[in-house]
Amino acid sequence: MADANADTRQSMLSTARSFPAAVPILIDAEAGIALRATSSGDLAAMVEQCRDPDMIRWTTVPTPPGGYQLRDAEDFLALVAAGWNSGERLGFCGSIDLRLQGDGIAEVGFGLHPDARGRSIMTAALHLVCEYGFEVAKLQVIRWRAVVGNWASRRVASNVGFVFDGAVRRSLLHRGELLDGWVATLTRDDPRVPQRWLHPVDLCGDGVRLRAFRARDVDRIVEACSDPDTSYWLASTPQPYGPDSAHAYLLGITELAARGVGVAWCIADPDDDRCLGSISLDGLGGYAKRGEIGYWTHPDGRGRGVVAEAVRLVTRHAWESRLATSLLIRCATGNAPSRRVAERAGYREIGIQPASEPLRDGQVADLVLYSNP
Number of H-type helices and E-type strands within the chain:
11, 16
pLDDT digits (tens, 9 = 90+) for 300-313: 999 999 999 999 99
More confident site: 125 or 83: 125
pLDDT at 118: 87
The stretch 195-221 carries a mean pLDDT of 97
pLDDT at 2: 41
% pLDDT > 70, the chain: 95
Q: Which residues pair with 291 in a beta bridge?
A: 327
The stretch 286-315 carries a mean pLDDT of 96
Rg of the chain over Cα atoms, rounded to whole angstroms, equals: 25
Are the CB atoms for 352 and 373 separated by under 8 Å? no
| CA atoms of 151 and 45, how far apart (whole Å) | 24
pLDDT at 1: 36
Q: Which residues neighbour 209 within 8 Å (Cβ) at sequence distance 6 or greater? A: 202, 203, 268, 269, 270, 273
| CA atoms of 205 and 266, how far apart (whole Å) | 13
Q: Is the pLDDT of residue 146 over 60?
A: yes
Could you state, in order of their start, the residue ranges of all structural domains in the chain? 2-187, 203-371
For the ranges 10-24, 175-189, 280-294, which has the lowest average pLDDT?
10-24
pLDDT digits (tens, 9 = 90+) for 124-133: 999 999 999 9
Please, where are the H alpha helices in the chain?
A: 2-15, 43-51, 53-58, 70-86, 121-135, 151-160, 218-226, 228-233, 243-259, 306-320, 336-344
Q: Which residues neighbour 287 within 8 Å (Cβ) at sequence distance 6 or greater? A: none
Cis peptide bond N-terminal to 20, omega within 30: yes
Q: Which helix (H) or strand (E) holds 62?
A: none
pLDDT digits (tens, 9 = 90+) for 84-123: 888 777 666 568 999 999 899 999 999 998 888 888 999 9
Q: Which residues neighbour 32 within 8 Å (Cβ) at sequence distance 6 or greater? A: none
The stretch 157-169 carries a mean pLDDT of 97
2-187 shares its CATH topology with 203-371: yes
| CA atoms of 178 and 170, how far apart (whole Å) | 5
Question: Which DSSP letter does residue 4 get?
Answer: H
Angle between the N-to-C axes of helices 43-51 and 70-86, in degrees from 0 to 180, rounded to the nearest 10: 110
Q: Which residues neighbour 334 within 8 Å (Cβ) at sequence distance 6 or greater? A: 365
Q: Which fold has domain 2-187?
A: Aminopeptidase (3.40.630)
CATH tag for 203-371 (out of 3.40.630.30, 3.40.50.300, 3.30.300.30, 3.40.50.11540)? 3.40.630.30
Q: Which residues neighbour 60 within 8 Å (Cβ) at sequence distance 6 or greater? A: 174, 175
Q: Which residues pair with 177 in a beta bridge?
A: 174
